[in-house]
Amino acid sequence: GPGFFATGDGPDVPGHDLRRGNGGNADGICIDVRRHPYTGETVIAVPNRGAPACSAASNPLHAQRKGSP
């Protein structure tokens, strides 16, 4: 749908790289959902600001998980 994205998904991509969300195009519309299958965690960032604020909130957590098996 409009504004939705998925990155880091596919047969040759490690599961910890999966990211889904909606970048939006107005203030208050930015959602970043990332699942981390190796830890069972899901990170959902909804900062009530426009893109790319949601990614800035979840990128540090994602970077910590990239080293997971």
HEC readout, 15-26:
HHHCEEEECCCC
The continuous run of DSSP H or E covering 32 comes out as: strand 31-36
**pLDDT at 38 (0 to 100):** 67
**pLDDT at 25 (0 to 100):** 61
Query: Is the pLDDT assigned to residue 44 strictly greater than 80?
Result: yes
**pLDDT at 16 (0 to 100):** 65
8 Å CB contact between 68 and 52: no
Q: Which of 23, 31, 19, 22 is nearest to 51 (CA)?
A: 23
Q: Which of 19, 17, 12, 20 is nearest to 65 (CA)?
A: 17
